[in-house]
Amino acid sequence: MRVLHLHSSFHAGGKELRCAKLINAFGPSIEHDIVSAVPDALGAQVAISPRAKVRYPTDFPSLQGKPLPRRIERIAKAMAGYDLVLTYNWGAMDAVMAHTLLGPRMDLPPLVHHEDGFNADEAVKLKTSRNWYRKLALAHAEALVVPSRQLEEIALTAWSQPRGKVHRIANGIQTSDYNRKAKPDALPRVIKRPEESWLGTIAGLRPVKNLPRLVRAFSHLPEHWQLVILGEGPEREAIMAEAMRLDVGYRVHMPGFIAEPAKIIGLFDLFALSSDSEQFPISVVEAMAAGLAVVSTDVGDVREMVSEANRPYVIPKERDSDYIDALEALALDPAGRRKVGDANRTRARAEYDEASMVAAYRLVYAKAMNRERFG
């Protein structure tokens, strides 16, 4: 079986790491070709098992550009020969349109589209032109998969997708992996000292994650607190510039992308998410599984994801002063952090284990291909 993955980017972000996790779970009987709309954005490949059969073709037509007829036709022709096409986010929508316009005539394989959220240009309000384009492009897709209730509602209303086509599958992780105690030197170039407390986050360093907001909030914490940001991306310099402006640069650490966060996250004493837009952030699930309290902006499904005890610390994104207060309250209350963290761990184990997620994706893909099972 040959599967084609068309990504807006294959940087090491939430949807890309989920894709890698699914590829690993599906096993070596399936061959995968992965294409990124940003050709050099392939950082998530480090999370794919060496046993998986994966290629990164360089001759696939560009996923970027105007949807002109000749370009759309080239993309459609390049999808032939596969058993299933999987597309991801707005950056791959021209391929979805090519499949709808030319798929029946070219006898193209079935297509399943995945939407995981929006970049900074749609963080506040969706673009009407893109809503129309998605609505038209998705007409011939076998299924649309989303991770959050918010995206499910958008798909059913703004994009006018029939309910039977839309599948909400919560992101999941191997929760048992997050029980381990991390070693103080588990991170490259950063060692946790006994007298330190760590505020941590896992995020692509992109504008929509608004990590300068987190730096500003962190600057109010006592001197023994350190901020550790795990991830890579174009905003690294802007984040550090904000830290230097606030004179906390010596307490802010960005060791880069970590392929196995389960080995590291146990070093954190508190987790924070500062995004302007999310849907179902897997980093929050990872923090919950590790028994951490979470301070977060009220984006996507975060308020519903966390335990009831954690919900007072999910703050509307426009209320920066309340976000700072929530961070300070938990930072200064170790017993309260443990109580909230224990409730989060219990919820993660009950609701967000990887096995359920993998089974749900297998079912959607098998149904799209009119097969009894996938892989």
Instruction: Look up the CATH number of the domain holding residue 81.
Output: 3.40.50.2000
Percent of the chain at pLDDT > 90 equals 91
Q: What is the DSSP letter of 353?
A: B
Whether residue 375 lies inside any domain: the answer is: no
What whole-number distance in Å separates Cα of residue 1 and Cα of residue 17? 22
Same domain, 299 and 222: yes
Residues 149 and 246 in one domain: no
Same-domain pairing of 260 and 179: yes
- Looking at the structure, tell me whether residues 207 and 259 fall in a common domain: yes
Weakest-pLDDT range from 120-129, 184-193, 288-297, 359-368:
120-129
User: What pLDDT does residue 241 have?
Assistant: 98
Asked whether residue 142 falls in the same domain as residue 232, the answer is no
Q: Mean pLDDT, the chain, as a whole number?
A: 95
Q: Determine contact, residues 84/109, Cβ cutoff 8 Å.
A: yes
> Is the confidence at residue 13, as pLDDT, over 90?
no
What's the rounded mean pLDDT across residues 212-220? 98
Interval 308-326 mean pLDDT: 97
**pLDDT at 219 > cutoff 80:** yes
Residue 374 resides in a domain: no
Q: Are residues 206 and 128 in the same domain?
A: no
Do 160 and 22 belong to one domain? Answer: yes
Q: Is residue 292 part of a domain?
A: yes
Model-level pTM?
Answer: 0.80
Do 164 and 181 lie in a common domain? no
Lowest mean pLDDT among 116-120, 334-338, 364-368: 116-120
Q: What percent of the chain has pLDDT over 70?
A: 100
| DSSP E strands, the chain | 2-7, 31-36, 53-55, 84-88, 111-114, 143-146, 166-168, 197-202, 225-230, 252-256, 270-273, 294-297, 314-315
258 part of a folded domain: yes
Buried b (16+ CB within 10 A) or exposed e, 120-152: eeebeeeeeebbebbebbbebbbbbbbbbebbb
Burial class (CB in 10 A: 0-12, 13-18, 19+), 320: middle
Mark whether 359 and 229 lie in a shared domain. Answer: no
Is residue 223 one of the residues assigned to a domain?
Answer: yes
- For residues 147 and 30, state if they share a domain: yes
Q: How many Å apart are CA 269 and CA 200, to the nearest integer?
A: 8
Residue 373 lies in a domain: no
Residues 206 and 68 both lie in one domain: no
The answer on pLDDT for 117 being more than 90 is no
Residue 89 has pLDDT above 90, yes or no: yes
The whole domain housing 284 covers 175-351
Residue 291's nearest CA partner among 266, 327, 258, 272 is: 266
Smallest CA-to-CA distance from 100 within 75, 128, 66, 81 is with 75
How sure is the predictor about 124, in pLDDT bands with cuts at 50, 70 and 90? confident
Q: Taking residues 218-229, report their average pLDDT.
A: 98
The answer to whether residue 297 scores a pLDDT higher than 90 is: yes
Residue 181: pLDDT band with limits 50, 70, 90: confident
164 and 180 housed in the same domain = no
Q: In this structure, is residue 253 part of a structural domain?
A: yes
Count of the separate structural domains present in the chain: 2
State residue 366's pLDDT score.
98
Tell me if 121 is assigned to some domain: yes
Asked whether the predicted pLDDT for residue 120 surpasses 80, the reply is no
pLDDT, tens digit (0-9, with 9 covering 90-100), for 18-73: 999 999 999 999 999 999 999 989 999 999 999 999 999 999 999 999 999 999 99
- pLDDT score, position 180: 84
| Partners of residue 353 on adjacent β-strands | 173
Quote the pLDDT of residue 261: 92
pLDDT digits (tens, 9 = 90+) for 128-139: 999 999 999 999
| Section 277-290 average pLDDT | 94
